[in-house]
Amino acid sequence: MIRDAYAVILAGGRGERFWPLSTSERPKQFLTLIGGKPLLAQAVDRLRGLLPPERIFIITHADLVMATRSVAPRIPPDNVIGEPFGRDTAAACALALALVRARSPQGVFCVLTADQLIKDLEVFRATLRAGLKLAHGSESLITIGIRPAYASTGFGYIEAGKRVQKLGKIEFLEVQRFVEKPDASTAKRFVATGRYYWNSGMFMWSVASLERALATYRPELSAMARRIAATISTSRFEASLRKEYQNLEKISIDYAIMEKAKNILMAKGVFRWDDVGSWPALANHLKPTAGGNIVVGDCTAVDSAGNLVVSEGRLTALLGVHDLVVVHSGRASLICPKERAQELKKIIRALAEHPRYRKLL
C-alpha cells in the first residue's frame, strides 16, 4: 500500500452517450455490457492491492448515491459523495481535494473515472503506483497519456516532450500542450509524429500541488474546497455542498487548470484503454457472430451484417439490413446508421423538448 495515498473515482455521468439503455437513472457506469460487471464495479476492482477500500472515494450525483453504494459495496457508505448539481470535473476535483485534505493534508491522490475500460491491470496499477510516488514531495500535476492504437477523432490528445523521469518501467514526460478532439487528417498527423497521446482524463497529484493550482487559476474553487473541508464529518456537510455548488461555473479540469499550468507531467500509459464513448466503440470489445453482427442479448439476423444489436429482454429480428445500431431497452428503442451514432445528442435534445418523453432520458 502507498503511504498517505487515496483514489477518487468520478461517477457522475448522466447517461446520454449510451441512450436508450443508459439514462439519468441508470447511467453508463451502471451498465454490464463488457466484463461481466458494471463499469463502476470494474473501476473499484482495479484498485485491489493498491489501496484499501477506506481510502477510495466515489463522487457521483446526489440522486445516484444509493445505486452507487449498491454497485460498489466494498466502499464505505460515507465515502460515496453525491454532488447536488452537475458542475463538470473541475468542481468534482475540488470536492475530491476537500475530501482527501480532511483525511490527510500531506496526502496524494489519483482521480479516475467510472466508465472506462482498462486491461493489462498490472501495468495500470504500476502506472498509478509510480505516479502517486512521484506526487509525494513534488509540485507536479500528473496526467496519464495513452499511447494511441489508431488515429481516433473521439479523444483529446496530449503533446508530450522530453522524458524527465522513469520510475521502474513507467516513463514521465513533459507536457507541451493539450489538444481538443481533432479531425481525421489531424489525428493521423498526430499519431504519425509519435509525440501525441490520448488524453485519458486521469490525474495524480498531491493535496498541496492541487491546492496551489486551484488558488492560481481558479481561486473560487480553492476557497470552496477549504470551506467544504471544514464541514466534512459534520451535520452541515450536505447543506454546505448544496450552497457551494449552487452558483459554481460548469467547467472541466482541463480547461480550468491543465491547459494553463506549466508544471504538468504525463505518465506514459502503455496499458489498453478505452472510454467506450459511443455505441459503435462497443464493437471493439465484443466478438462478432458468424453472420458478422455484434450482439448483446437475443437477435436473429437474416441477410444482415455489420450491425450492432443490444436487445434487452426481447428478441430483435433483422432482415436485409447492414451497418446499423439497433438498441432496445425497456421503454425505448434506437435505430440509426453506425456512422451517425456520434450524433446521438441530437435525439437527446429533441426528446428533451417534449414533456412526454423527458422521463425516458
DSSP 268: E
Average pLDDT, 10 consecutive residues per value, the chain (361 residues): 90 83 90 90 96 97 96 97 95 97 96 94 97 93 96 93 94 96 94 96 97 97 94 94 92 95 96 88 89 94 96 93 94 92 90 87 87
pLDDT at 360 (0 to 100): 86
Average pLDDT, rounded, for the chain: 93
Distance in Å from the first CA to the final CA of the chain? 41
pTM of the model: 0.94
Q: Which strand (E) or helix (H) includes residue 314?
A: strand 308-319
Amino acid symbol at 78: D
The length of the chain in residues reads 361
Phi/psi at 71 (5° precision): -75, -25
Amino acid symbol at 195: R
- Is the alpha carbon torsion for 281, 284, 285, 288 positive or negative? positive
Domains of the chain: 5-274 (3.90.550.10), 279-358 (no CATH)
Question: For residue 229, which of 128, 110, 81 has the smallest C-alpha distance?
Answer: 81
Is residue 265 within 8 A of residue 141, CB to CB? The reply is: yes
pLDDT at 322 (0 to 100): 97
State pLDDT tens for residues 267-292. Answer: 999 999 998 878 888 888 899 998 99
Amino acid symbol at 355: P
State pLDDT tens for residues 145-176. Answer: 999 999 998 899 999 999 999 999 999 999 99
Non-local (6+) Cβ contacts of 88 within 8 A are 250, 251, 252, 253
Alpha helices by DSSP H, listed for the chain, are 39-45, 65-71, 88-103, 121-135, 184-193, 207-217, 219-229, 237-246, 253, 279-282, 344-352, 355-358
pLDDT at 280 (0 to 100): 86
Sheet with 308-319: strands ordered across = 294-302, 308-319, 324-328, 333-337
Distance (Å) of CA 138 to CA 4, 128, 135, 141, 203: 14, 15, 5, 8, 14
Joined together, the cell numbers standing for residue 158 give 496530449
pLDDT at 55 (0 to 100): 98
pLDDT at 15 (0 to 100): 66
